[in-house]
Structure 1
Amino acid sequence: MSQIELTFPDGSVRSVASGTTGLEIAKGISEGLARKALGVKLGDKVLDLTRPLTESGTIKIITPSNDDPDALMLLRHSCSHVLAEAICDLFPGTKLAYGPAIEKGFYYDLMTPTPIQQSDFERIEKRMKEIIKEDRPFTRCEVSAADGLKRTEGDKYKTDNAQRALAREGSDGTLSFYVTGEPGKNFEDLCAGPHVPSTGKLKNFKVLSMSGAYWHGDQNSDQLTRVYGTCFADKEGLETYLKFLEEAEKRDHRKIGKEMDLYHIEDHSPGMVFWHPKGTKMVNTLKDYIRGKIDRRGYQEVITPEIVNKTLWIKSGHADKYNENMFKTLAGDVEMAVKPMNCPCHIQI
């Protein structure tokens, strides 16, 4: 049997048989570490504890920590699956799109037969707690492309995800599914992974909010519901974050702006601010403050057009790099664009 060389965080190197799992390595260090472990990192890849390791490289056993991005990613990605299962149980007929971990938590985009309301969060959390208490294992199943597409047949979103995964560069022609429990009996979801060993690791979670989302971000496509949540390594981390959100809400500029009668935004002018007298006074005070600062430092002010013929942006190179993100309009037959930045117009001066 071939061997692989693993370099541990302390610099020590061990030779193990190819196919050894992260769990076996953790047990070889201590039973306590194996019980705590969430996953393993080989090189720059985070893997399930039970995945066979077939390449040499640096290795880290990932344990619960609010300071370790790899640990939080594993917890949050896994928790998104528990959220999806809970919603599918409570809203039979739900179609799942995708549910990644993000910087502060996770979300799942889905379509339910009846709309989810904020008032449903309590029973969603209750069902999630039941799944977590069962401490079901996350079981990875790898299947051929044909078998995988058969599993997603009739499911528009998962079929599309499967086809994209198979077309991705580096695909080995297989698809992976994760079951929270026993294959064929418990919840299954198309997913590349990785995940924590079992649902029991996900006790410190919270369903936070929801919003609308479009399939693939295309506003001409299906509108989905995006449910947000978060998960931490311990109760303290979760409580600290929830307290932070509570304090941030008190200081939300959208709430304060309305309460202080500073401004409002109209539906027919999204993202554009209608400054009220008090707000205008505040804006002008800030402008005067900044103007005084830059004037004392020897800067000179100029004013340039907001909308310019697109030929300038072609000449400056902005059109090549930012064309899809530029706001364009027509003046007769001439294509114009709102300036993405000041420098080309300043150069004209």
Structure 2
Amino acid sequence: MEQQVIVTLPDQRKLEVEPNTTLYQVAQKIGSSFAKKAAMASVNGELHGLNTQIEKDCQVEFFTYEDKEGLEAIRYTLGFLVGEAASKHEVEVADFGVNKEQFYCDFKAANNLKAADLEVITKSLNKMISANHPIEVREYPKLEALDLFKDNPFMQHHIEQAESSVSVAVHGDYKAVIDQPLVTNLSKVKNFKLQSISATNWLRDVNNESLQRIAGFAFADAKALEDHLAFIEKYEQVNHRRLGKELDIFSFSEYAPGMPFYAHNGQVIRLELQNMLRQLQFESDYEEVYTPFIMDETLWKNSGHWDHYKENMYFTEVDEQTYALKPMNCPGHMLIYKNHLHSYRDLPIRMAEFGQVHRHELSGSLNGLFRVRTFNQDDAHIFVRRDQIESEILEVLGLIHKVYSVFGFDYSIELSTRPDDFMGEIELWDFAEQSLENVLNQHGFDYTVNEKDGAFYGPKIDIHIKDALGRSHQCGTVQLDFQMPEKFDLTFVNQEGEKERPVVIHRAIYGSSDRFIGILLEHFGGNLPLWLAPVQLEVIPVNADLHLDAVKDLKRRLKKEGFRVELDLSDEKMGYKIRQAHLKKVPYTLVVGDNEVENGTVAVRKRGESEEHSVNVEDFVKQLKEEADVLSKVE
């Protein structure tokens, strides 16, 4: 009789099973009702499908279909099944996987599939799910696997990435290389919807072969799927890419993929965001600086960014010397600090820049303003003594709170600790992490810990804002850095007259101004607050000929008071003009007719309201100024 295998569960219970018992059989041993809920399991920390056999003593933790791991398996399984369904249409499956709630399958088709084909593929999927024939997973040595997929160069690429053996999923006559667990019970993957078919590129690189992608959503139960599809429908109404086009805010061009072009309306928003933060920074004694877009590659090697960002940087050669477009502003600020001698009395030195940076992102990952290849970063670096670290971090968190309260954002705080590829001494890392913890703990901040997600040069505090749709966006960050002062040999003269290293606090509030604009457009549904709206006031004459001088005078007066005003002098009917102002999401529409000219008033219609009210021009200007002065209301 073979020796029994001991399976240890999270509650430290131990089960004795026969060698080669499957994880599903282990789940059944715990209980039949438990087995029905089990989707997959972790064996000694590695995720496996339930058809995996146990060969030696191990620790096992099961996950249900509702758990994150179970949902991932549902979606990954659907990506595999989409490949099988699509293969009946003369396609060569290249890849499949999961992206948040979405599953996808990329393939090369002899004849491109159309949106109408999604219905056919959906029927094929439902038929496979109803039949519920198990998917078999087999292990192949690398050479055998290469021979098995000799006619599919895409699968061969995946096999080449493996060290020795690969997992191959087999369902009927269809097979594909997998790198994640699959769901054993196909009846559990029935709550899905194919959403789109689109163009993509192999490995999401525009320089690679063109492919097609089928994508869809899946959840553990029908209600969750229904709720998500309702959210998607709602989201489409506030999608920042659609609003950016409709409101003439930004656009993209094939001549500069992933690099936004801002029309006048968009530039107004960018400058207003900068000016608001610029004013708060001025009050907090920040010095604004400007650094070059392009610098010698040696700088990036010295700073340590070369090892971590080289693959995402843009390079050019001038006079036989390689230069790089800056992917961040940090090294430039280090050079500015180094230009002068500093005393301990000078610190803290708060250096800020609205710096344009460039990072090469894969074409498949580009997503409107949320993921671009060039963006404006509201960057700041604060040079402090060690005894100033905690008080300065507290000041930064206060500034972040002020800015986010302007927009009414709720936010959460996350402390990210030392990553595996860290730079520097562990003792300094421990000190830095403790400093951040002290600020958060001593001042009553609620926070979570994200292990090993710090920057390569130091731990950080990340701020996640929550928008009107309930989504979380990481924007603000506060990072502590002992490494760059060392790399750039930065010093100040301490009280004993000796040279000492400053500590650098990296700080951003918007993070990417571009991404922040995308978030704001969706958060407000395009209905930006008065101070931020590109066009704040639309003035409409009742009669363009009779009241032309009056509306022009009103526009001049309002612009002199600092407001952004447009006139609608078209020959369209009044109702149409008002509707157009509403579609442009202008905060206030002002109508001027005989009564208004005679009485020095305007008929005001506020965005979202159907009624007009007459108001004295001077009183209205006073009201507008109070509404636009957001900083006076900041906590």
TM-score when normalising by structure 2:
0.50
Q: Measure the CA separation in 2 of the matches of 1:220 and 1:274.
A: 23
The structure-2 alpha-carbon separation of the partners of 1:341 and 1:244, relative to structure 1 and needing over 3 Å to count, comes to: same
Q: Measure the CA separation in 2 of the matches of 1:146 and 1:262.
A: 54
The structure-2 alpha-carbon separation of the partners of 1:164 and 1:342, relative to structure 1 and needing over 3 Å to count, comes to: closer
- Which amino acid in the other structure matches residue 335 of structure 1? T
Aligned residue among 153, 156, 165 for 1:156? 153
Aligned to 1:305: 292
Aligned to 1:209: 196
Aligned to 1:38: 39
Structure 2 alignment gaps of length 5 or more: 337-635
- Which amino acid in the other structure matches residue 83 of structure 1? V
Larger Rg: 2
SS, match of residue 138 in structure 2: strand
Q: Measure the CA separation in 2 of the matches of 1:37 and 1:156.
A: 35
- Offset at residue 254 of structure 1 (A): 1.2
The structure-2 alpha-carbon separation of the partners of 1:284 and 1:224, relative to structure 1 and needing over 3 Å to count, comes to: same
Q: Aligned-pair RMSD on alpha carbons?
A: 2.3
Q: Measure the CA separation in 2 of the matches of 1:264 and 1:101.
A: 28
The 10-residue stretch of structure 1 (191-200 or 292-301) with the greater mean CA deviation from structure 2: 191-200
- Which amino acid in the other structure matches residue 22 of structure 1? L
The structure-2 alpha-carbon separation of the partners of 1:335 and 1:190, relative to structure 1 and needing over 3 Å to count, comes to: closer
Aligned to 1:54: 55
The structure-2 alpha-carbon separation of the partners of 1:327 and 1:23, relative to structure 1 and needing over 3 Å to count, comes to: same
The superposition leaves residues 293-328 of structure 1 with CA deviations (integer Å, 9 ceiling, x where unpaired) of 111112111112122233322332323432222112
The structure-2 alpha-carbon separation of the partners of 1:13 and 1:294, relative to structure 1 and needing over 3 Å to count, comes to: same
Q: Measure the CA separation in 1 of the matches of 2:215 and 2:62.
A: 28
Q: Measure the CA separation in 1 of the matches of 2:297 and 2:111.
A: 46
1:1-349 superposed matches below 5 A: 1-65=2-66, 68-89=67-88, 91=89, 93-143=90-140, 145=142, 147-165=144-162, 168=163, 171=164, 173=165, 175-180=166-171, 185-349=172-336
Q: Measure the CA separation in 2 of the matches of 1:28 and 1:152.
A: 38
- Offset at residue 110 of structure 1 (A): 0.8
The structure-2 alpha-carbon separation of the partners of 1:9 and 1:157, relative to structure 1 and needing over 3 Å to count, comes to: same
- Offset at residue 73 of structure 1 (A): 1.8
Q: Measure the CA separation in 1 of the matches of 2:192 and 2:313.
A: 39
- Which amino acid in the other structure matches residue 276 of structure 1? A
Q: Measure the CA separation in 1 of the matches of 2:98 and 2:50.
A: 18
Aligned length: 335
- Which amino acid in the other structure matches residue 294 of structure 2? I
Instruction: Judge conservation of contact 1:98–1:108 (CA < 8 Å) in 2.
Output: yes
Aligned to 2:467: none
The structure-2 alpha-carbon separation of the partners of 1:192 and 1:259, relative to structure 1 and needing over 3 Å to count, comes to: closer
- Which amino acid in the other structure matches residue 117 of structure 1? K
Q: Measure the CA separation in 2 of the matches of 1:319 and 1:161.
A: 28
The superposition leaves residues 135-168 of structure 1 with CA deviations (integer Å, 9 ceiling, x where unpaired) of 1211223445555344323222223333433xx1
SS, match of residue 141 in structure 1: strand
The 10-residue stretch of structure 1 (10-19 or 45-54) with the greater mean CA deviation from structure 2: 10-19
Q: Measure the CA separation in 2 of the matches of 1:153 and 1:273.
A: 42
Instruction: Judge conservation of contact 1:136–1:200 (CA < 8 Å) in 2.
Output: no
- Which amino acid in the other structure matches residue 265 of structure 2? K
Instruction: Judge conservation of contact 1:176–1:191 (CA < 8 Å) in 2.
Output: yes
TM-score when normalising by structure 1:
0.87
The 10-residue stretch of structure 1 (48-57 or 104-113) with the greater mean CA deviation from structure 2: 48-57
- Offset at residue 20 of structure 1 (A): 1.9
- Offset at residue 45 of structure 1 (A): 1.9
- Offset at residue 30 of structure 1 (A): 2.2
- Offset at residue 115 of structure 1 (A): 0.8
- Offset at residue 96 of structure 1 (A): 1.0
Q: Measure the CA separation in 1 of the matches of 2:6 and 2:229.
A: 43
The structure-2 alpha-carbon separation of the partners of 1:25 and 1:263, relative to structure 1 and needing over 3 Å to count, comes to: closer
The structure-2 alpha-carbon separation of the partners of 1:59 and 1:87, relative to structure 1 and needing over 3 Å to count, comes to: same
The structure-2 alpha-carbon separation of the partners of 1:348 and 1:49, relative to structure 1 and needing over 3 Å to count, comes to: closer
Q: Measure the CA separation in 1 of the matches of 2:124 and 2:200.
A: 24
- Which amino acid in the other structure matches residue 72 of structure 1? L
SS, match of residue 116 in structure 2: helix
SS, match of residue 286 in structure 2: coil
- Offset at residue 219 of structure 1 (A): 4.0
**Greater strand share, 1 or 2?**
2
